[in-house]
Structure 1
Amino acid sequence: MSEANDHDERHHQRGASDIAEIAEPVPLPPSEEDKRILQSLLDYVKMSQDPELAAKYGLRPGIGLAARKSTSRSG
């Protein structure tokens, strides 16, 4: 297996374990910080679909949204 493929496989395995976790309920309405985070996720997906912007910023194509709650946030 090439080094690049080995890296991709390790990344995939780590990512798969992340999404296998049970999601926690999301408080509604979203906080201002959550709105900012959601908007940045949506912006990334939109920008990643534009070939010029994707090349300019080195973005990998996004096809959907998923977010893991950061453990660094308080409360």
Structure 2
Amino acid sequence: MDLNLRKAILSNIAENDQEQLEATITDAIQDGEEKMLPGLGVLFELIWQQSDNQDKQDMVETLEQGVKQANTGN
């Protein structure tokens, strides 16, 4: 069986507006379920592809701060 997870996720959110997309992200993070990680990865990929170099640098800096905080327990 050839399952293209990326296409399936994109198909599921194709008609979503901004409010629905935000709710999808919020719910996935709050639920903390491992099965939601691929979907969040696809959403992040879309954000990354649509971002300019400054936005990408800002995201990487924010990610670095989050990783450090997560590892210190704050």
TM bucket (normalised to shorter chain) is: 0.3 to 0.5
By relative contact order (CA 8 Å, sep 6+), the higher-ranking structure is 2
Higher helix share: 2
Instruction: Using structure 2 for the length normalisation, give the TM-score.
Output: 0.36
- Larger radius of gyration between Structure 1 and Structure 2: 1
